[in-house]
Amino acid sequence: MSGAVSQLAGGAAPAVALLVAGRIATVTLNRPDRRNAVSLEMWRELARLFEALGRDEALRGILLTGAGGNFSVGADIAEFASVRATAEQSLEYEVAVDAASTAIAATPKPVVAAIEGYCLGGGCHLALACDFRFVAPDAALGIPAARLSIVYGVASTRRLLALVGLSAAKRILFSAERFGAEAAVAMGLAERRARAPAAAAQDFLEGLAENAPLSIAGAKFILNGLAVGEEPLDPAAAQAVIDRASRSDDYREGREAFAGKRPPAFTGR
């Protein structure tokens, strides 16, 4: 997959576009005329794509962003009448939404959301599943579920709670307010304000790419499990990721590089 532009959603202008440059993949929500509203097909495509990227050993980081100056205005409300009209359809729809964010959160690579403009509802759901959110000065983040009589899903509510704490999570969900970059950073909804968030995210990911992939994957697994795991963290699974890193060639490489006063060259094995 590396070193190429892939068009996974088909057609000349895929609604979910992938660009892989070196060790970093960029996934772009690409429906700028709809402010990158996410259709059912796009939720499904995001799940497939992040699962595939997670398996690509050459990749060390993933950037998720939106085309045309917005991250995403969330689920494509315009198609709700056809794809989310009945209770059965709603259930099926939410499964697809959660599969997309679960695939992002479960990817054993660091994922940064680079956010310009609107990041609302389902857009926020995707951003919350990323490991970090870098926001442009014009960013507007919010969850307008309370304006649509939608109960925000359990998985994303849990992620929101872990990030911002109980009272801020309640404020965000109860009020449906939009928060600017500064407020988002202050409440922990975003980590960094940057004039060009995609470039800042790319630099940040390039830096992380020098570190041991098994260390990062293990930390991500354990931290996500402790903070937002659906079940209490499985201690045997946590021990397995710790053991895997301890037995790796990279573990030896790290010690040898330290001893040799040279930068380590990690392979993820």
> Site residues (CB under 6 A) for ligand COA?
34-35, 37, 73-78, 118, 120-122, 144, 148
CB of 35 to ligand COA, least distance (A): 5
Closest CB to ligand COA among residues 94, 250: 94
Closest CB to ligand COA among residues 148, 226: 148
CB of 36 to ligand COA, least distance (A): 9
Distance CA 118, CA 105 (A): 21
From 168, 182, 104, select the one nearest 139 (Cα to Cα).
182
Q: In sequence order, what are the beta bridge partners of 18?
A: 6, 27
C-alpha Rg value of the chain to the nearest Å: 19
CB of 253 to ligand COA, least distance (A): 45
Closest CB to ligand COA among residues 14, 144: 144
CB of 83 to ligand COA, least distance (A): 12
CB of 110 to ligand COA, least distance (A): 26
Closest CB to ligand COA among residues 61, 122: 122
From 201, 213, 252, select the one nearest 59 (Cα to Cα).
213
Closest CB to ligand COA among residues 26, 39: 39
Q: Which residue is nearest to ligand COA (CB)?
A: 121
Q: 249: which residues sit within 8 A by CB, 6+ positions away?
A: 267, 269
What tokens appear for 108 in the block? 């054993």
Residue reference for tokens 């999570």: 169
Cα angle 123, 75, 1; round to 5 = 65
Closest CB to ligand COA among residues 138, 253: 138
Task: Write b or e for each residue in 223-253: b if 16 or more Cβ atoms lie within 10 A of its Cβ, otherwise e.
Answer: ebbeebeeeeeeeeeeeebeeebeebebbeb
- Contact yes or no for 118/137 (Cβ under 8 A): no
Write out the DSSP string of 205-252.
Answer: HHHHTTS-HHHHHHHHHHHHHHHH-SSS--HHHHHHHHHHHHTSHHHH
Closest CB to ligand COA among residues 118, 266: 118
- Contact yes or no for 112/64 (Cβ under 8 A): yes
Closest CB to ligand COA among residues 50, 118: 118
